[in-house]
Structure 1
Amino acid sequence: MARTSGSETREKLIRAAEEIFAAQGVDGAQTRDIVRLAGQGNPSAVQYHFGSRAGLLDAVMAGRLARTEAALAPLLEALPEPSLEELIEALVTAEATQLTDLRGLRCLRISAQLSHESGIRTRTPHPTLAGTAYWELIERIETSLSADGLPEAIRLERTDLALTLIGAALADRARQYLDGSRPLTTEGVFLADLVTTTVALLRAPAPERPAPRHRSAR
């Protein structure tokens, strides 16, 4: 029986992890199922190649990010002084490239569960995002909101919510494709509406005063 190289084994584990994380959820997935699907007899294969389950998840997301970066970088280069609408359109367009194949569909289902881990709320990028075009785009989106006079806390929170909205919408579209369901709209209409909806969220005026806090019933 031919032996596989370490890089081949890593790739098998990553592909298996994409399938299991997408089907069972990031929190519900079992490492043993990933090892089994990858055809590995050693139950410690994940620990050996990635250090931990979290290390494997980071590897999955790093690969997913690299594919998105390849689509996003040229879009940003073509927009030296983009408007907020153009920034969001570039983000949605790059992310939507993941809708074209099975691997991308699975990774959209996974990354939607991790949208709040970008680090934008503290301006500290997740290690996989540091120095990427994706992080640059996130920062430019947040900075562009300052022209609307929004306080910093609201700008940061809205940017994070916008990422969550885009991730959840694309993950739901991916679910429909994976399940064989018929979407309500064409992909072009869906993506255009996602851009419009996200921009509307970001552009909403700041509240004039905080909403009253609800008191718990006694």
Structure 2
Amino acid sequence: MGAARSRQVRATRELILATAERLFAEHGITAVSHRQIGEAAGQGNNAVVGYHFGTKAELVAAILRKHYEQVERLRARMVADAEGSTAVRDWVACMVLPSAQHLADLGGPTWYGRFGAQVMTDPAYREIAERASWNSPSLRRAGEELHRLLAELPEPVRQERRDMARRLVVHVVAERELALADGTPTPRRTWQQAGTGLVDAITGLWLAPATAGSLPGERDGAP
């Protein structure tokens, strides 16, 4: 009886997570209530979401954690293979390709890309995602190697380009996922190809020159 109950609880939690991810992806996090998630998941008890996950922030963190654990396994292997590389592109690939591969592995339809965009554009929840991602040992390792290889870039430029790269990945992935859901054409045929395109673009972003006199925080025309 205990084992059967445990399986039922796990199944209910997974159903809630999947339903919440879809609704958050489609409507935004703030617009979706616990009650709506419970109803969409076919749960008669309106308090079931709060019972299993607590607050909305805790629910968002649980969805992220479910995906990050799978992405971390993929990235850890890539980082191990890249050890010793002095190519910026190799470390950019470690940061980008695992998420693309994870989306490919999920099959279709997916909501993870759009969910991620909703999280990253909502100040109330963005910090949860950033904290979770930088708890990843493999992501930190890739970031350390990029920092080492790009040590000549001023820190304000590195921060600016980190933000640019993150936004590029988040929104390109979300837009591709939406196009797939709508059945509209996409520039790249597969998630792996889309990831490669992002790696190419972000590598170029990191290696672009930093024009003197126009660094972040400087006034236009300042010497």
Normalising by the residue count of structure 2, what TM-score does the alignment of the two structures yield?
0.79
* Distance of 1:59 and 1:119 partners within structure 2: 10
Task: Tell me the equivalent position of 2:195.
Answer: 191
* Distance of 2:45 and 2:29 partners within structure 1: 22
Matched, 1:55 2:58: yes
Contact 1:14 1:56 in 2 (8 A): yes
* Distance of 2:196 and 2:64 partners within structure 1: 25
Task: Tell me the equivalent position of 2:31.
Answer: 28
Matched, 1:92 2:96: yes
* Distance of 1:202 and 1:128 partners within structure 2: 20
Q: How many residues are treated as equivalent by the alignment?
A: 206
Deviates more, 1:82-91 or 1:93-102: 93-102
* Residues 109 and 31 of structure 1, relative CA distance in 2, 3 Å threshold: same
Contact 2:133 2:139 in 1 (8 A): no
* Distance of 1:104 and 1:164 partners within structure 2: 23
* Distance of 2:132 and 2:187 partners within structure 1: 37
Displacement after TM superposition at 1:199 (Å): 1.1
Displacement after TM superposition at 1:142 (Å): 3.6
Gaps of 5+ in 2: none
CA offsets 1:125-151 (integer angstroms, 9 cap, x no match)? 6046414323332343344321xx111
Task: Tell me the equivalent position of 2:145.
Answer: 140
CA offsets 1:6-49 (integer angstroms, 9 cap, x no match)? 32222111011111111112333332221112222222222221
* Distance of 1:204 and 1:118 partners within structure 2: 28
Gaps of 5+ in 1: 214-218
* Distance of 1:186 and 1:130 partners within structure 2: 32
Which of 1 and 2 has higher RCO (CA within 8 Å, sep 6+)?
Answer: 2
Aligned-partner SS, 1:78: helix
Deviates more, 1:106-115 or 1:2-11: 2-11
Contact 1:92 1:191 in 2 (8 A): yes
Contact 1:98 1:104 in 2 (8 A): no
Aligned-partner SS, 1:40: coil
Deviates more, 1:197-206 or 1:110-119: 110-119
Identical amino acids, percent of aligned pairs: 26
Aligned-partner SS, 1:105: coil
Normalising by the residue count of structure 1, what TM-score does the alignment of the two structures yield?
0.81
Task: Tell me the equivalent position of 1:216.
Answer: none
